[in-house]
């Protein structure tokens, strides 16, 4: 697996210092599970940060997001949800790496996918920290996601299949940071459904009137 799109250094640094909230931390931690390069980068930042923090007065970053993530790893998995709406083939390795699989209590094929409209499905990921909205999205192979822009930040991590937009192609492990300057029309690659983890801190802003009208109904 070759990963071409990684989180920014700013995000990795915030993660390493514990400054990120739970939803953002989950996206980074799940990317790290797939990306040795970023694991090394974060380990280096933590080493540097340890020395730095001892020489500087404590800053008000004190969020226990990382502790919450780690605690969830130890938590009992939930009961498997009802039957999935479509069969997801099982490969040699799980579609959902840890810590994400622990949050959801199973792999992609074990989950109760909810119809999102336009052929797409979602599974909300429950967070203790409600400042972000976290969900798994499943976009049918070869189909577009409605064009949208963002009021806030949106992090997307591809876990299966691929999508592409004007900024490039994103496959398993690839990570996209989108802010309110990006208006894009992601399109799932043909072949297999695209499953990705999406973390947002504000509702998406759809360009088409129809999409805007159905948006409240879909909860996206
Ligand atoms: Zn990476």
Between 183 and 129, whose confidence is greater?
129
Most confident of 1-5, 51-55, 143-147, 172-176: 172-176
DSSP class of residue 77?
A: P
Helix (H) or strand (E) segment spanning residue 22: helix 22-34
Q: What are the residue ranges spanned by the domains of the chain?
A: 1-220
Helix (H) or strand (E) segment spanning residue 211: helix 209-218
How much is the mean pLDDT over the chain?
80
Neighbours of ion ligand 1 (CB under 5 A): 6, 35, 38
- pLDDT of 79 > 50? The answer is no
User: For position 201, what pLDDT does the model report?
Assistant: 85
Residue 65 · residue 99 · CB < 8 Å: no
User: For position 178, what pLDDT does the model report?
Assistant: 86
- How far apart CA 56 and CA 54 sit, in angstroms, is 6
- How far apart CA 101 and CA 212 sit, in angstroms, is 31
- pLDDT of 78 > 50? The answer is no
- What would the pLDDT profile of 85-104 be if each residue is shown by its tens digit? 455 666 778 999 999 999 99
Residue 137 · residue 155 · CB < 8 Å: no
- pLDDT of 145 > 80? The answer is no
Query: What spacing in Å lies between the alpha carbon of 53 and ligand 1's midpoint?
Result: 25
Query: What spacing in Å lies between the alpha carbon of 32 and ligand 1's midpoint?
Result: 6
Task: Please give the C-alpha separations between residue 87 and each of 47, 101, 108, 112, 172, in angstroms, as whole numbers.
Answer: 43, 18, 10, 11, 19
- How far apart CA 199 and CA 32 sit, in angstroms, is 16
- pLDDT of 150 > 50? The answer is yes
CA 3 to chain centre: 15
User: For position 179, what pLDDT does the model report?
Assistant: 79
User: For position 118, what pLDDT does the model report?
Assistant: 77
Q: For the beta carbon of residue 69, count every other beta carbon within 10 angstroms.
A: 20
Q: What is the mean pLDDT of residues 141-155?
A: 76
Query: What spacing in Å lies between the alpha carbon of 7 and ligand 1's midpoint?
Result: 6
- What would the pLDDT profile of 4-41 be if each residue is shown by its tens digit? 999 999 999 999 999 999 999 999 999 999 999 999 99
In whole angstroms, how large is the CA radius of gyration of the chain? Answer: 17
Query: What spacing in Å lies between the alpha carbon of 57 and ligand 1's midpoint?
Result: 30
Query: What spacing in Å lies between the alpha carbon of 179 and ligand 1's midpoint?
Result: 19
Helix (H) or strand (E) segment spanning residue 196: strand 194-200
- pLDDT of 135 > 60? The answer is yes
Between 177 and 51, whose confidence is greater?
177
Q: What is the mean pLDDT of residues 114-128?
A: 88
Q: Which fold has domain 1-220?
A: Jelly Rolls (2.60.120)
* Token pair in block for residue 170: 């994103």
Between 142 and 116, whose confidence is greater?
142
Query: What spacing in Å lies between the alpha carbon of 34 and ligand 1's midpoint?
Result: 8
Task: Please give the C-alpha separations between residue 128 and each of 23, 26, 46, 49, in angstroms, as whole numbers.
Answer: 9, 12, 25, 27
Q: Which parts of 78-184 are beta strand (E)?
A: 114-117, 120-124, 133-139, 148-150, 154-160, 163-165, 168-170, 175-178
Among 79-83, 114-118, 141-145, 209-213, the range scoring the smallest mean pLDDT is 79-83
The residues, ordered by sequence, that sit 6+ positions from 211 with a Cβ below 8 Å of its Cβ are 146, 147, 148
User: For position 210, what pLDDT does the model report?
Assistant: 55
Query: What spacing in Å lies between the alpha carbon of 173 and ligand 1's midpoint?
Result: 8
- pLDDT of 196 > 60? The answer is yes
């Amino acid at each position: 697996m070759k990963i071409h799109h990684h989180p920014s250094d700013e995000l990795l640094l915030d993660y390493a210092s514990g400054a990120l909230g739970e939803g953002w931390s989950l996206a980074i931690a799940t990317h790290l599970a797939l990306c040795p390069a970023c694991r090394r980068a974060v380990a280096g930042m933590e080493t540097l940060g340890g020395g730095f923090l001892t020489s500087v007065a404590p800053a008000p970053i004190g969020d226990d997001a990382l502790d919450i993530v780690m605690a969830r790893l130890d938590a009992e998995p939930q009961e498997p949800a009802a039957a999935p709406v479509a069969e997801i083939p099982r490969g040699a390795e799980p579609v959902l790496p840890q810590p994400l699989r622990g949050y959801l209590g199973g792999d992609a094929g074990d989950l109760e996918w909810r119809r999102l409209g336009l052929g797409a499905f979602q599974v909300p990921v429950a967070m203790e920290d409600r400042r972000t909205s976290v969900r798994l999205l499943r976009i049918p192979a070869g189909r577009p996601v409605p064009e949208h822009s963002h009021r806030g930040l949106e992090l997307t991590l591809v876990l299966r299949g691929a999508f592409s937009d004007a900024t490039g192609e994103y496959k398993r492990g690839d990570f996209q940071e989108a802010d309110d300057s990006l208006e894009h029309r992601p399109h799932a690659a043909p072949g297999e459904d695209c499953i990705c983890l999406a973390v947002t801190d504000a509702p998406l802003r759809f360009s088409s009137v129809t999409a805007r009208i159905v948006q409240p109904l879909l909860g996206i």
